[in-house]
Structure 1
Amino acid sequence: MNKFKYYFILIITTFSLFSCSKNNDASEITPPRDFAVQYATDITNIEEYLKTYYITVVDHAGFVDDQDVTYTKITDAANQPSIYSYLNASTFPKLLSREVKLHDITYKVYYLVLREGTGAAPCNVDGVLAAYKGDYLEQTVTSNVTSLTATTFEVAKYPQQMLSLYSTITGWSEIFPQFKTGSYTANNDGTVSYSDFGAGVMFIPSGLAYYSAGSASIPAYAPLIFSFKLYEINRQDQDSDGIPSYLEDKNGDGYVKVLATGVENADDTDKDGIPDFLDVDDDADGYSTKLEITAANGTIIPFADIPSCDGDTTDPARLKKHLDKSCH
């Protein structure tokens, strides 16, 4: 009797498992939404947030809460200026926007400049050491009332590692180059105090963030808000050719790009479709760039020591002049 019950349970369980598997295989896969349609929704929500919330900024130089930002729903329009009211302001805070062409549409990315910073600006493929707080936007319904809400999903108050803008979401790589680092001092207790760093807030449409995939607690198709402080940068060399990628930004706009086939790329010297920051042989002469800046003893010549044809070591384009065969 016990054996019969055992086999009966086993058969039922097996049948259930195969039934669930079959149903899962047959379930419909929802295709991602159209980028243009979703962007229209995202920008509407972002602009609603900008016009219905105000900010409070902590001014506490040398302390970890310096430039912390709090967002609050406006209840007194006369005394609580909206974030949107700072659009193109002549003083800080200053709300600006940047156009980003991707997915065959042009995104508008708003970013609020609280402080520009006094040091160096990262290229869009450099590493950044940044404190930040991330929120996602969504329309929620409570008691049949729809309202736009922001939910915090991550806070990094004491950053410990560089994050490469080459591998983060597109929104980060587009906005961080608009800011600069500051200065810092080491304290006796082993901590570091940062000052004069660039600080701001970026408002990112989902198409420049996680889009349909979402991430952890971030829902699919959620626009993101990041308040951030840019403490330090790390110059990276994506193709390991001995030239930091930011120095392979030929047109000097702070960005290096991989563009679609056939699209003119100002940062592609030999026009082979591979931008210089990813091209180990920028001039297509059959010799890698690393070989061309290697001394006789096999060591890489530091970029700062490479002379141009006219001997000008301050000219940022000196490497290209040096490698130009007409100079020799």
Structure 2
Amino acid sequence: MTKFRYLLVVAFIGLIVACGGDGGSTVDNFDHASQSVIDNDSLVSFFKKHYFDVATDSVKPLIDGETALFDDENLKIQEVTETIDEEDIDFTLYYYVINEGVNDDKGYPSVVDSVFVNYSGQRVVRTDSLSASNFDANNRLWFALSGVIRGWSYGFTHFKGGVNVTGNGPITYENPGKGILFIPSGLAYRNVGSGSILPNEPLMFYIELLDLVPETDIDGDGVPSIYEDIDGDGKPWNDDTDGDFSANMFDSDDDGDLILTRFEDANNDGDPRNDFSDPDNPTLPDYLNRNIRVSNQ
């Protein structure tokens, strides 16, 4: 398993949903906080006018006798704060659980793990309708949650994978995690847009989580990417110990001392996190301590 943690990196983040990563803005002084409120109002209105049709596993306009998404207990909420243009903006992400998934051995992915998924996406063009067709869809695709829009990074963490029952035939999974993500534009492509996705447009994705690589090590430095969250805020992408503008999760030399992180493993147990050689900083691991340049290479 260990070797796959860093082999399954971001080979597929060229897919359209991954483009732009955290959806950075190119328009100065845009009011992201106000847009977040607008997006949430639009999604709430959408939920009141639509329901989940069990027979077709799809969202449809509300009809008599059905329960609106707004009142459906399977529709969940996650509050998310993202820093945009040095300002903390609050967003509400919605996810609908059709099937949580059954793979307890691997559990839920972190926000930066590698996942194997099926998905299709539609634009929420008005509160009473969706786009006529998918703007993107892919099946059986590996990618890292570190390289996609934030709505995916957070949304997939609520599902587990399925059970691999392949045998001698094609790779097959039973009871994978299955659901729907309703993503405000601030956790997608913001005020920029992408391809057919317009600026400030909320998105809806049908998703299936087939499999995942727990504790993915994106940069192959021996430290699982989720543990490169030095400040403990749950966002490894904003931790940069050596200030070289490359987050630790993408940086093979986290402290910038010219000794690669994977070699700052004094006890040679494969985990640089438990090596402390500086008596003046006994709680600071060597791989984050620029004053320690001991290599086991």
Q: TM-score, normalised by structure 2?
A: 0.69
- Could you say if the C-alpha distance between residues 220 and 269 of structure 1 is closer, same or farther in structure 2, counting changes exceeding 3 Å? closer
**Matching residue's letter, 1:184:** N
- Could you say if the C-alpha distance between residues 155 and 287 of structure 1 is closer, same or farther in structure 2, counting changes exceeding 3 Å? closer
CA deviation string 1:214-273 (max 9, x = no partner): 2222222210011211111245433331222134346888x43344xxxxxxx6789999
Pick one of 47, 53, 57 that aligns with 2:54. 57
What does 1:140-219 align with in structure 2 at a 5 Å threshold?
148-151=128-131, 152-154=133-135, 156=137, 158-159=139-140, 161-186=141-166, 188=168, 190-219=169-198
- Could you say if the C-alpha distance between residues 102 and 200 of structure 1 is closer, same or farther in structure 2, counting changes exceeding 3 Å? farther
TM-fit CA distance, 1:290: 1.2
The answer to whether the Cα contact below 8 Å between 1:201 and 1:227 also exists between their aligned partners in 2 is yes
3-state secondary structure, aligned to 1:238: coil
The answer to whether the Cα contact below 8 Å between 2:190 and 2:199 also exists between their aligned partners in 1 is yes
- Could you say if the C-alpha distance between residues 154 and 302 of structure 1 is closer, same or farther in structure 2, counting changes exceeding 3 Å? farther
**Matching residue's letter, 2:102:** T
Equivalents in 2 of 1:256, 1:324: separation in Å? Answer: 27
- Could you say if the C-alpha distance between residues 204 and 287 of structure 1 is closer, same or farther in structure 2, counting changes exceeding 3 Å? same
- Could you say if the C-alpha distance between residues 278 and 216 of structure 1 is closer, same or farther in structure 2, counting changes exceeding 3 Å? closer
Q: Which protein is bigger by CA-based radius of gyration?
A: 1
The answer to whether the Cα contact below 8 Å between 2:149 and 2:188 also exists between their aligned partners in 1 is yes
Equivalents in 2 of 1:115, 1:245: separation in Å? Answer: 27
Equivalents in 2 of 1:250, 1:31: separation in Å? Answer: 30
CA deviation string 1:168-208 (max 9, x = no partner): 111111211222212122255x4232123222211111121
RMSD: 3.5
Q: Any stretches of 5+ residues in structure 1 without a counterpart?
A: 1-28, 59-67, 140-146, 260-266, 296-300, 307-318
Paired residue for 1:117?
A: 101
Equivalents in 1 of 2:28, 2:187: separation in Å? Answer: 18
TM-fit CA distance, 1:294: 7.7
The answer to whether the Cα contact below 8 Å between 2:151 and 2:183 also exists between their aligned partners in 1 is yes
Equivalents in 2 of 1:176, 1:30: separation in Å? Answer: 29
TM-fit CA distance, 1:43: 1.1
TM-fit CA distance, 1:102: 3.1
Paired residue for 1:62?
A: none
Paired residue for 1:3?
A: none
The answer to whether the Cα contact below 8 Å between 2:47 and 2:70 also exists between their aligned partners in 1 is yes
Paired residue for 2:32?
A: 35
Moved more, 209-218 or 171-180: 209-218
Equivalents in 2 of 1:286, 1:31: separation in Å? Answer: 37
Paired residue for 2:260?
A: 288
Equivalents in 1 of 2:273, 2:155: separation in Å? Answer: 28
The answer to whether the Cα contact below 8 Å between 1:256 and 1:275 also exists between their aligned partners in 2 is no
Alignment of 1:320 with 2:273, yes or no, is yes
Equivalents in 1 of 2:82, 2:250: separation in Å? Answer: 21
**Matching residue's letter, 2:33:** A
The answer to whether the Cα contact below 8 Å between 2:229 and 2:237 also exists between their aligned partners in 1 is no
Q: Larger relative CO (CA 8 A, sep 6+): 1 or 2? A: 2
Residue identity over aligned pairs, in percent, reads 30
3-state secondary structure, aligned to 1:162: strand
3-state secondary structure, aligned to 2:236: coil
Paired residue for 2:11?
A: none
CA deviation string 1:285-314 (max 9, x = no partner): 77432112388xxxxx674xx5xxxxxxxx
Paired residue for 2:44?
A: 47
Equivalents in 1 of 2:252, 2:67: separation in Å? Answer: 51
**Matching residue's letter, 1:97:** Q
- Could you say if the C-alpha distance between residues 43 and 30 of structure 1 is closer, same or farther in structure 2, counting changes exceeding 3 Å? same
Equivalents in 1 of 2:240, 2:226: separation in Å? Answer: 13
Q: Any stretches of 5+ residues in structure 2 without a counterpart?
A: 1-25, 283-297
Alignment of 1:85 with 2:82, yes or no, is no
Paired residue for 1:4?
A: none
Alignment of 1:107 with 2:60, yes or no, is no
- Could you say if the C-alpha distance between residues 229 and 324 of structure 1 is closer, same or farther in structure 2, counting changes exceeding 3 Å? farther
Equivalents in 2 of 1:248, 1:109: separation in Å? Answer: 24
Pick one of 198, 202, 220 that aligns with 1:240. 220
